[in-house]
Each structure stands twice: as C-alpha cells, then as structure tokens.
Chain A
Amino acid sequence: KAGVTQTPRYLIKTRGQQVTLSCSPISGHRSVSWYQQTPGQGLQFLFEYFSETQRNKGNFPGRFSGRQFSNSRSEMNVSTLELGDSALYLCASSTSDRGRGEQYFGPGTRLTVT
C-alpha cells in the first residue's frame, strides 16, 4: 500500500504571497492531520479533517486554512506569508474515526519564505 504523499517537497515563496500544499493519505484512511515543524517551536498541530469536515484545530492564525476532498485528499493554504512561516509542513493520515489509532506521516513539504 502506498504511503502518505505530499507535494511539492520543496517550495520557496516571498513574503506576502500565498501557498497551497497537497496531501494524499494512505488508501482507506479518512482522517488527515497537518503539523508544522520548526526548530524553535517543534511539532505543532494545525488541524484535522475527517470526511471533508474540520473537526479539530490548533492555535494558528486564520491565515492557515485547509480542506479535504471526497477522496480524502487534503490541501492546506497559507495566505499572506510571513518569514516565520518557514517550516516543514507534515501531513498525517489515520484509519479510524474514533479510538486511539496511530497516524502515518508523509515526507513533508519544506517551505522557505524569503
């Protein structure tokens, strides 16, 4: 079974621009979560989508948004980019809608804002 895929793997953007990142979960997984990883703040939860609905959200400004499609693929968007948005953005998928299922991560998208 193919793993979680994320595109693109690397991005360079300028302050003020916006960016869209894509994530394809493992086949059959309906839950997709997004995390931001930076050297200073570590791994922080952005949001989780299940069946096209956002059901959990971390403490990030409204510039960060996401969506999920009927095939469970997910996108996240960051508008009005700031230098501090430079990070590795990780997507994770999970199989069960309840319980304690583990999450499987993609390789991440490295975003650099200049």
Chain B
Amino acid sequence: GDSVTQMEGPVTLSEEAFLTINCTYTATGYPSLFWYVQYPGEGLQLLLKATKADDKGSNKGFEATYRKETTSFHLEKGSVQVSDSAVYFCALSLALDTGRRALTFGSGTRLQVQP
C-alpha cells in the first residue's frame, strides 16, 4: 500500500539554524505531495504542496522539491524561528479514476526551536 516515512523527532535547533526534515514515499500511482504543520492544540495547516516531478512548493520560507527519482519530498528552511516550533507532517494524495482521494500521512516530526 501507499506509505510515507518521515525522520524521527524531536528535532531540536537553535534559532536561525538550517532545517531539513526528510520525507520519502511509496505509492502505486503518481501522487501529489504535501507538508502540513500542526501547532499545539490546533488542527493541521497546509504549509506547501507539489503536484508533479521537479515541482518546488514554498511558503513562509519553507521549501520542498518533488523528487520522483528518489521518491522524496524533504522540507527545508534556511533560518528557523522559535515560532516554527510545531509538528510537521508529510503526506501524499492519490486521485483515482473514480475521484476518490485520501491523504496518507507520515508519523510527524516534532520541531523544537530554542532561542
């Protein structure tokens, strides 16, 4: 079945450090890829997305590139802030002929940014 694998957390960084959270996927078709972020006590917010190979999604200084050859979608940010502390989820979505769709999530990676 389809699956998403994320690096184990927590990831602890100092403010202004470079962030990478690794994400790889397995899918039977050609998925769209997403990063969602969850702040404490809240639901999920869409951070960025990419729908085809070599697409780069970007938002709020975060970036991720859809790499079909390595089945990866790693999240990066050049300089993290304390306010970026949250749990980050990588996810994929496959659109079937019938239009059915569901998100398959990774296990999440907790990011802690220290001042």
A residues with a Cβ closer than 8 A to B are 4, 6, 31, 33, 35, 42-43, 45, 48, 50, 55-56, 58, 90, 92, 94, 97-108
Partner of A105 from B44, B49, B93, B108 at Cβ < 8 Å: B44
Does B107 reach chain A (CB closer than 8 Å)? yes
* Bound Cα distance from A104 to B9, whole angstroms: 25
Partner of A106 from B43, B98, B102, B108 at Cβ < 8 Å: B43
Contacts of A102 in B (CB 8 A): 32, 34, 46, 49, 93
Does B100 reach chain A (CB closer than 8 Å)? yes
Q: A56-B100, A56-B101, A94-B101 given as contacts; is B43 within 8 A of A100 (CB)? A: no
A-B pairs, 7 with minimum CB distance:
A100-B32, A43-B105, A56-B100, A105-B44, A105-B43, A45-B102, A107-B43
- Does A105 contact B34, Cβ atoms closer than 8 Å? no
Partner of B44 from A6, A58, A90, A100 at Cβ < 8 Å: A90
| Interface size counted on chain B using CB atoms at 8 A | 25
B residues with a Cβ closer than 8 A to A are 31-32, 34, 36, 42-46, 49, 51, 89, 93, 95, 98-108
Given A31-B101, A45-B102, A107-B43; 15 other pairs, CB 8 A cutoff: A33-B103, A42-B108, A43-B108, A55-B98, A97-B99, A98-B99, A99-B95, A102-B32, A102-B34, A102-B49, A103-B93, A105-B44, A105-B45, A106-B43, A107-B42
* Bound Cα distance from A42 to B107, whole angstroms: 6
* Bound Cα distance from A50 to B98, whole angstroms: 11
* Bound Cα distance from A101 to B45, whole angstroms: 14
* Bound Cα distance from A67 to B6, whole angstroms: 33
**Distance in Å from the Cβ of A43 to the closest Cβ of chain B?**
4
* Bound Cα distance from A4 to B43, whole angstroms: 10
- Does A100 contact B93, Cβ atoms closer than 8 Å? yes
Contacts of A101 in B (CB 8 A): 101
**Distance in Å from the Cβ of B97 to the closest Cβ of chain A?**
9
User: Residue on A with the closest CB to B52?
Assistant: A100
**Distance in Å from the Cβ of B108 to the closest Cβ of chain A?**
7
